[in-house]
Amino acid sequence: MDIWSWICELPNSEVWADSDSPPVFELASCKSSGDGSTRSIQLKAERTAGSNSDELVTFTVSLQGFHPSSAGKTLWVSDTCHLNSENPFLPLLVQLLQDIITRSPTAQDSTCPRSQLQKLKPEPVAWIMETHSPESFSGFFTLVFLTRLFWLCSFDAPSEVGSMYFESLLGPNLEELAYKHWPVLRAFLITVGVDTELCFMRTVGYMLSKWLILREIGMGLRTLAPWPGHHAGFSYATEAHGLWLLKGYAPILAMKPTSGVGNKFVPQDLVLKYALAHQQLEATVQMEYTVQFLDGFIQVRAHVNNIRLHMVKLGYAQNDGEEKADERHFVSRARVWVGPEVGATYVGGVSLGRSTDNGEKEVELQRTLKSTHGESKIPSVKTRAKMATKSRIKNWRWDQDVEGNAAVFDAVLYDNKTGHEAATWRPISGDLGGNGLRNRQNGPNRPFTKMGGLVFAADEYGEGVEWRLSKEMEGSVLKWRIGGYVWVTYWPNEVKSTYYETRCVEWCDEVDLPLIPAK
């Protein structure tokens, strides 16, 4: 569905110039099961003449055939675009993005509510349009347009329109929403800033969550297209100011199940599962690095600056009367790696800055002593002793390791009562009672923040890692890879349930490593 190419060709369309009817792009259509009439969702372009021979065009999204008493119904009207301007369709894209951002399901208790968001500036959007070819930009525009259309068809139209949207529009174009055109989306998110990025990605996550829920439970729709599992989430990486930055997003139902009672919706715990489905994992990995040019080799050092992982509830208001509204998944393991590209031959060695921490136990040993005096057979001195072993179990264990030339930073969550690893534990007969991770967001020794987030800082991973590179690489800019696995687990927190599961997502990207000495 190449909507952008159709829009760009409008000013030069001879059919448009010679016809009184507005050009129509049919977004989706189907035959009615009742009378056999055609129902469709259409995008129309209507042109008018402005002052000083300025040609104007307005776009509308309309429904045809859904209302027997009328020829059609208009769902949305765009702002006016000036065809004679240098960038005629910039107002259209800015309006679509602004509508998406202002409707974002921001996280509860967010410090940046929708009402405080500033109006999106057109300059960064214009730069994105000018620096990318129409072919690469087309996929990004499709993502933006379908995201805006989600609200129109799902909330502002009859249920039949919403069904057509999910089945005939969103499903067939999932490759666009699986971030097939990453470079443009990456450039857009970096350019517009983190507040706008969060609003945009939470809207996309909410839309995908709804589609995945419908795919699970059916809701009367025909079989929907399978979710492209190799695109479980979106990530991008960048380098700036001595930091490698990796950011990732993944709706919970898009993550791969690794354990649990199954990811299908069943009557038991249906309300709980529905509440859990409206969640998204948001990850930020910051690695600080330095480069030194020494005699005979180049030394590259890196250590964890911050790993921030949050499970965000995608919703609009907290339902105080529903106890399951506060239930959420929690991060149970994070594995981050960074290092040269696969097959690199310029690395001479890797050195880790943290040794393996072998757990220590305190052992108390006492002995029993018996003795007799004289001819008496009864001991006159008697002592008793006990042997005790003390061990301390922490919630989190941090490790460093290597895989090839890549350094691996691992954080694993344990139940501090039983010692079980949370990401791999399987309860016996579904018994989740008595685990040490209940009420995990409360209390002074909780392993998570009050909002269910998690932050690892530099002091928890030691001094970092060091690579020695060939001196011949001086003056070049290398591609360094950075990625990670994140496991999230659900155990009942404040409700009684036997439902549990663990899911996993993988992200991997590239960042620059400039090996250019300062002048």
* CA dist., res. 284 & res. 236, Å (int): 10
Give mean pLDDT, residues 448-461.
Answer: 78
Give mean pLDDT, residues 231-260.
Answer: 88
The residues near 230 (Cβ < 8 Å, ≥ 6 apart) are none
Which residues does residue 300 pair with via DSSP β-bridges, in sequence order? 291, 467
pLDDT tens by residue, 99-138: 999 888 875 556 655 555 668 889 999 999 999 988 889 9
- Give me the pLDDT at residue 229, please: 47
pLDDT reading at 368 higher than 80: no
**Residue 230 pLDDT level (bands cut at 50, 70, 90):** very low
- Give me the pLDDT at residue 222, please: 47
pLDDT tens by residue, 164-193: 898 888 888 876 666 556 789 999 999 998
Least confident stretch, 81-90, 270-279, 351-360 = 351-360
pLDDT tens by residue, 195-206: 899 999 999 999
* CA dist., res. 75 & res. 63, Å (int): 7
Please classify residue 446 by burial: count the beta carbons closer than 10 Å to its beta carbon, then call 0-12 exposed, 13-18 middle and 19+ buried: middle
- Give me the pLDDT at residue 160, please: 86
Three state DSSP letters for 224-245: CCCCCHHHCCEEEEEEECCEEE
Mean pLDDT of the chain: 81
pLDDT tens by residue, 413-440: 988 777 788 888 876 655 555 566 766 7
- Give me the pLDDT at residue 285, please: 95
CB 512 within 8 A of CB 479: yes
**Residue 504 pLDDT level (bands cut at 50, 70, 90):** very high
pLDDT tens by residue, 376-396: 566 555 555 555 555 555 688
* CA dist., res. 412 & res. 391, Å (int): 18
**Residue 214 pLDDT level (bands cut at 50, 70, 90):** confident
Q: What distances in angstroms separate CA 270 from CA 266, 320, 356, 407, one per listed residue? A: 6, 19, 43, 42
- Give me the pLDDT at residue 510, please: 92
Which residues does residue 59 pair with via DSSP β-bridges, in sequence order? 45
Q: Which amino acid is at 26?
A: E
- Give me the pLDDT at residue 357, please: 63
**51-65, 325-339, 368-382, 443-457: which is most confident:** 325-339
**Residue 321 pLDDT level (bands cut at 50, 70, 90):** very low
pLDDT tens by residue, 484-501: 999 999 888 777 777 888
* CA dist., res. 185 & res. 319, Å (int): 33
Structural domain boundaries of the chain?
Answer: 1-231, 240-351+393-519
pLDDT reading at 407 higher than 50: yes
Q: How many CA atoms lie within 13 A of 315 on its CB side?
A: 17
- Give me the pLDDT at residue 158, please: 84
Q: Which residue has the higher pLDDT, 69 or 248?
A: 248
- Give me the pLDDT at residue 497, please: 78
